[in-house]
Structure 1
């Protein structure tokens, strides 16, 4: 997903002349200081989630920090424009995803999601949900069969449509409430739940299992 290209997106250097330690230009009337405070409040609310999401994609804390720092620099570079957006959280989310994609492309890497412990736990939760009525039968499967099935699910999740993929990561891997998922993605809570249902059905088809409507 690409964001509004106006004004031009630039990467801001915090060492640039005439900017404060947040990357915002310094003005004598204090306007930019007030803008910086609004960014600080926004960043304080969302920064940890941004880091956690980036970590699932790029595979290390250091790389995640690089991605999030670049995202913050872009936001700071035209923060007044960002504040005019219908959903600032959604705009920032789109920038974060662009930075993740650029980092992966620069390093010739695929998303590291399937290598994280959190993802493996989320996959098992999904599997449990899909098959709670057949739990006893599942227990009779040998571990090799279970592993094969999880590997198939990893591939299926990676092929989900973008919105469904984001919902699965936010809701199951990062365990974000539906209301916060809706805020980050700029959609209604009902739409989040719809994406969850469609993702489950798509994954169930890939796994050739019966999908249920029971919530976890």
Structure 2
């Protein structure tokens, strides 16, 4: 992970103390969706701290309305709508525009550059290994 790149440690599970108290379905939903929600919020907000706060707010809200959320035609659609609404509110409070386009572009550029460098490095390693072979091995 390069400096400045956001890594949502989204495998964040609900703490073991709360797991026994919270609905099992909510705990599973949280575990499955937390990382994706963090990535989306970070792309929109451009700031890991804001993203984490918004996602925490979203899951707190979802927990409050969990029984009603389960009755929705699409739980995932409902939850994403809640996430988008919370992100939009945070942007309005901060007086900022969506950072997604710029942030996503730089993230894609970093990924493609890293992939190219890793490929080049692996080729150089192969050439160095070939150069180190004896005549017989070559």
TM range (shorter): 0.5 to 0.7
Determine if the alignment matches structure 1 residue 99 to structure 2 residue 86: yes
Matches within 5 A, 1:1-216: 21=18, 33=21, 36-116=23-103, 118-120=104-106, 121=108
Give structure 1 regions of 4+ aligned residues with deviation exceeding 2 angstroms: 118-122
Q: Give the SS at the match of 1:86.
A: coil
CA deviation profile, 1:35-94 (whole Å, cap 9, x unmatched): 621101011111100000000011111110011011101100110111111110000000
CA deviation vs aligned residue, 1:162-210 (integer Å, no higher than 9, x gap): xxxxxxxxxxxxxxxxxxxxxxxxxxxxxxxxxxxxxxxxxxxxxxxxx
Q: State the alpha-carbon separation in 1 of the partners of residues 46 and 72 from structure 2.
A: 31
Deviation at 1:119, TM superposition (A): 2.4
Segments of structure 2 that go 5 or more residues without pairing to the other structure are 1-16, 113-138
TM-score (norm 2): 0.61
Unaligned runs of 5+ residues in structure 1 are: 1-19, 23-29, 126-216
* Other-structure match for 1:167: none
Task: Please report the RMSD computed on the Cα atoms of aligned residues, expressed in angstroms.
Answer: 2.3
Give the Cα–Cα distance (whole angstroms) in 2 for the partners of residues 98 and 61 of structure 1: 18
CA distance in 2, matches of 1:119, 1:73: 31
Cα distance in 1, alignment partners of residues 65 and 101 from structure 2: 34
Count of residues paired in the alignment:
93
Bigger Cα Rg: 2
CA distance in structure 2 between the aligned counterparts of 1:109 and 1:115, rounded to whole angstroms: 13
Alpha-carbon distance between aligned partners in 2 of 1:64 and 1:101, rounded to the nearest angstrom: 12
